Structure 1
Amino acid sequence: MRTGGTRFRDPASAASLDVLAADPIDVVCPRCGAHARVVGEPGDDRPSTTRARRMVCPACAHTGRWSTRTGSSWWGLPVDPFFRQPLWLTAAVRGHRLWAYNRAHLDVLAGFVAARLRERGPSAGCCEMTMIETLPAWLKSARNRADVLSAVERLRARLDDPGRAARRPRSPVSGADLRRFGAHEHRYFHGNVTRPGHAT
């Protein structure tokens, strides 16, 4: 995907949001506000979109569980798709919001933004766009390159920050608000799901 920070080839489906979400997702703990993670249930080898998930917070020992029986998943906004909690990796950049699910997501964004040469990759499929193609214009702009890369480095440092626990319970973002801001909802019927959108 990257060559010395000067060239980037769109990895297309290899770096779609559902693929990136296969790795642990860094989130804000709904109970204490510290750094929690959403991970796949051990032994569940189903695709990322249908795999059962656990939320685990080392700071307060909060845990949660999600499965396709729990409800929809939501994609394309700075909340985790399953528990609808704010992402740990968010930063303000020139009045906009940069966000990522995890380190792998940050690496893809950094590779794209740093590249002087950006190449199209394989097609995502009929009537679909890759995650890279749906990135907002401000993030693609060369004039914002330095600011975005600086924000990425701050977020990489934040990966090792456990955060400070505080008693401030958070409710999941409501489905109505997620729809209003353009999230892609995926409803599950007997374990089946449509492919999630690529927007970020």
Structure 2
Amino acid sequence: MTERDLPIHHRAEDPGGRLWSFGKVIWVHCPECDKAAKKDNHGVNCNHCGHTTIQSRKPSNNRWATPASSKQKCTHCGEAIGNEDRPTARTKDGELFLQVRCPHCGETDDYPARPGWTTQRFGYEPGPPLFLATQVAGETLWVQNLAHLDALEDWLGAKVRERGPQPGLTMMAKLPRWMKASTNRAKVLRGLAQLRERAEKAGIDE
């Protein structure tokens, strides 16, 4: 397992900043091949299969959609295809369809769809799940990128944690109690080490 070489019983000072201060990209599961893909203000881009978020020129981003039925099954293998929003919707004869690659057999087909969430209606852009996530003590431990991972390892791995010069609810101040609890410290650090190992295997470099 990959681990950073941190000083034993080191002290850490809250670096300040909110979540978006750590790293410029978010690593997510590619909607097409499920490998690690970068997500930024322009959308999702995958270096493995070439998937790129379709940018809509219309006032409302109507290309995001989800399968019309939450129980939609693959037309090839019969397994459930999932109901996540995807940026690959298209209209045929006035009806909305969504291109989905089956996570089980890998075949791609079009399925009846309905409009998904939009940035204009809800203030955020939907997207694939985070790539760097794992379960720790019955909770989900996740990081967006390597800078986020480094910051959490430094802070949560410290024997003594000190408030920094920046006031207010920083990212560290807003961490959930289970993550900061001394009883979970070893578990959380193992989980972060697992995420670092996963990042290395996936070729994540930032």
TM-score, reference length from structure 1: 0.60
Q: Distance in 1 between matches of 2:130 and 2:159?
A: 29
1:1-80 correspondence to structure 2 within 5 Å = 4=7, 6-13=10-17, 16-20=18-22, 22-39=23-40, 52-64=41-53, 71=119
Deviation, 1:84, is 2.6
Q: Distance in 1 between matches of 2:48 and 2:121?
A: 26
Aligned match of 2:188: 148
1:106-125 correspondence to structure 2 within 5 Å = 106-124=149-167
Aligned match of 2:172: 132
Calculate the aligned-residue CA RMSD, in Å: 2.9
Task: Give the secondary structure class of the aligned counterpart of 2:201.
Answer: coil
State the one-letter code of the partner of 1:154.
Q
The answer as to whether partners of 1:59 and 1:162 remain within 8 angstroms in 2 is no
Provide, for residues 157-190 of structure 1, a one-character-per-residue CA deviation record: whole Å limited to 9, x for no partner.
1113339xxxxxxxxxxxxxxxxxxxxxxxxxxx
Structure number with greater Rg is: 2
Q: Distance in 1 between matches of 2:55 and 2:28?
A: 14
| Cα 1:156–1:65 shift into 2, 3 Å | farther
Residues paired across the two proteins, number: 138
Runs of 5+ consecutive residues of structure 2 not aligned to the other structure: 1-5, 62-118
Q: Which moved more, 1:86-95 or 1:152-161?
A: 152-161
Runs of 5+ consecutive residues of structure 1 not aligned to the other structure: 40-51, 76-80, 164-200
What percentage of aligned pairs have identical amino acids?
36
TM-score, reference length from structure 2: 0.59
Query: Which structure would you say has the larger RCO, counting Cα contacts within 8 Å and 6 or more residues apart?
Result: 1
